[in-house]
Amino acid sequence: MPSNVAVRVRARSEVLTDGLRRIREELELPGEFPAEVTAAAEEATASVVLPTRDATDLPLLTIDPEGSMDLDQALHLTRTETGYRVHYAIADVAAFVPPGGPVDAEARSRGETLYGAGDRIPLHPPVLSEDGASLLPDQVRPSLLWTMDLDADGTTTAVHVERAAVRSRERWSYEGAQRAIDAGDAPEVLRVLREVGQLRIDQEAARGGVSLPLPEQEVAEDDEGRFVLSFRNALPVEEWNAQISLLTGMAAAQLMLEAGVGLLRTLPPADPRDVARLRRVAAGLKIDWPDDVDYPDFVRRLDPSKPAHQAMTVACTRLLRGSGHAAFDGEPPEQPLHAAIAAPYAHVTAPLRRLGDRFAGEICLAACAGSEVPRWVSEALPSLPELLADSARRAGAYERAVLDLIEAGTLAARVGEEFTGVITSVEEERPERGVVLVTAIGVEARVTSERRLPLGTEVTVRLAAADPGARKVLFTR
């Protein structure tokens, strides 16, 4: 059972390597790019035409996980007399991908980049995603350059997006950026990012939005070759950086709604019954959730450094189910909101890794220019939601299988041991079956009992099975 967290691998054993290979085969995931797709990407990279607008004077920088090469975004922030100006450059993938060509067709079949345990199945050939289109430092690249003005409270007052040639100056890792900020010797743009990021977090709280502080699960091996799981909490700079992406996605959604055409990322409001179940889980984890505190405010009180709060954060991901895309050309969708963001929202900031962002970016360009949406975009728009849903299902299956493999490998030598856990879900038709979250080892897995499982209750469970080959973990009460 997946824990709904990102996974970073610091070791690759034969068990893990073989397990990942079998997962790829079982799910029929794409492998190497066909020769004609790679050749087309190489040709596009060599012959790309830069936009006439030259914005290479902007001292942009990127902030990403250590070692990342597929850099979708570069930013620059400054203070103004009335607040702040945010420049956000997004890789212009459309400049490299002719509609109907081999790269376009392959990207539509893949849908998104797949991630799992240090393994990556890219959406585009690396010559494009990790080189020609990536916003690597000291390289002039085509981009969709967003310019957003904010007032002193962080509220958006003006938005514009256009094609522009840009050149990133520096590439920062999250850890490096956080160290510089904490030491007080960070460049001005990072200090302003902290200000704007915190203002946007306050804006999120004010409108009733919520960002789950999901930990990252690190996988290592001990001296005996066994998997060892640990959690890495997100750094503050990661959240500040994410707020700039959210800011842009909200601005994009507003442009689309005003233009009457778009591709929104939606999430329905949480079912009150699911919130009630979460309250019982919180009680089982001995986390105080007063009756007069709503769900977003409760999440903001969670401390990811505490194991019980980490477990609660993972349990909260159940309220994020049901997300999808809504395409429209004319009347906006009946439900245009993303409930977790508490506003209309669109994916536009990661076109190297998500197919839909390339199309959504073109709609925003047309909206700002007052021009028609390109025909290749409008023709694809009706079919995109289902196509993106299919790729999301495939990505979810891959992530679940990888986490099942890792958790089974972690526990393989501990069958028969007893643990304390909290029942986080119970099957309606078979209430003696459900899911237990064992906070001490960071694992959420299936559990069975001879009688009804008590939702949200702390229980003692015994590890009955942990088989990496079958990717199976089972506890019994």
pLDDT digits (tens, 9 = 90+) for 101-122: 999 999 999 999 998 766 789 9
Measure the CA–CA gap between 63 and 67, rounded to whole angstroms.
11
Where are the strands (E) in 294-442, listed by range? 324-329, 337-338, 343-344, 418-426, 433-438
| Angle formed at CA 147 by CA 335 and CA 240, multiple of 5 degrees | 70
Q: Which residue has the tokens 């212009």?
A: 92
Q: Categorize the per-residue pLDDT at 5 as very low, low, confident or very high, splitting at 50, 70 and 90.
A: very low
Residue 195 vs residues 81, 98, 159, 203, 356: alpha-carbon distances, Å = 15, 40, 19, 12, 30
C-alpha to C-alpha distance for 150 and 89, rounded to whole angstroms: 17
Instruction: Render pLDDT for 47-62 as a digit per residue (tens, 0 to 9).
Output: 999 999 999 999 999 9
Nearby residues of 420 by Cβ (< 8 Å), 6 or more positions away: 438, 439, 440, 458, 459, 460, 461
- Give 407's pLDDT tier (boundaries 50, 70, 90): confident
Nearest one of 422, 273, 253 to 348, comparing CA atoms:
253
Q: Are 413 and 442 in contact (CB under 8 A)?
A: no
Residue 361 CB contacts under 8 Å (≥ 6 apart), including other chains: 90, 92, 94, 144, 161, 252, 348, 351
**Spatial separation of the C-alpha atoms in residues 66 and 81, rounded to whole Å:** 35
Model confidence at 441, in pLDDT bands (50, 70, 90)?
confident
pLDDT band of residue 2 (cuts 50, 70, 90) is very low
Domain ranges for the chain: 7-268+322-413
Q: In the structure encoding, which two tokens stand for residue 430, read together?
A: 């078979």
Pick the residue with more confidence: 69 or 216? 69
Percent of the chain exceeding pLDDT 70 equals 93
Q: For residues 267 and 336, what is the distance between their CA atoms, to the nearest angstrom?
A: 8
Query: 177 — phi, psi (to 5°)?
Result: -65, -40
Res 4: pLDDT: 43
pLDDT at 1: 31
Give the pLDDT confidence score for residue 186 in this predicted structure: 95
| Helices of type H across 12-94 | 14-27, 35-47
* Token pair of 42 as six digits: 């190489």
Six-digit token string for 352: 């190297």
pLDDT bin (cut points 50, 70, 90) of residue 286 is confident
* Region 275-299 average pLDDT: 90
Largest Cα span, the chain: 70
Give the pLDDT score at 319.
83
Q: pLDDT (tens digit, 9 = 90+) per residue, 143-190?
A: 999 999 999 999 999 999 999 999 999 999 999 999 999 999 999 999
Contact 218, 10 (CB under 8 A): yes
Closest among 209, 266, 246, 256 to 349, alpha carbons compared: 246
Q: Cα dist. 398→1, 7, 111, 158 in Å?
A: 12, 12, 14, 40
Cα separation of 3 and 438, whole Å? 11
Q: Residue 317 has what pLDDT?
A: 82
For 380-383, the CB contacts below 8 A with 24+ separation are 381/261, 381/263, 381/327, 381/329, 382/327
Q: Distance between the two ends of the chain, CA-based, in angstroms?
A: 17
Look up residue 421 and give its amino acid.
Answer: G
- Whole-number Å distance between alpha carbons of 282 and 276: 10
For residue range 376-394, list pLDDT tens digits in order.
999 999 999 999 999 999 9
Q: Per-residue pLDDT for 415 more than 90?
A: yes
Q: Which two tokens stand for residue 77?
A: 């922030």
Average confidence score pLDDT of the chain = 91
Tokens linked to 89: 């450059």
Radius of gyration (C-alpha) of the chain in whole angstroms: 23
Tell me: the pLDDT tens digits for 187-235? 999 999 999 999 999 999 999 998 887 767 666 666 666 666 666 778 9
Q: What is the mean pLDDT of residues 314-332?
A: 88
Burial class from Cβ neighbours inside 10 Å (0-12, 13-18, 19+) for residue 236 reads middle
Contact 204, 342 (CB under 8 A): yes
Structure tokens at 24: 């790829």
Distance CA 114, CA 130 (A): 15
pLDDT category, 3, cuts 50, 70, 90?
Answer: very low
pLDDT at 270: 87
The predicted model gives 258-269 an average pLDDT of 96
Phi, psi torsion values for 30, nearest 5 degrees: -65, 150
pLDDT digits (tens, 9 = 90+) for 337-373: 999 999 999 999 999 999 999 999 999 999 999 999 9
Locate tokens 């954060």: which residue? 313
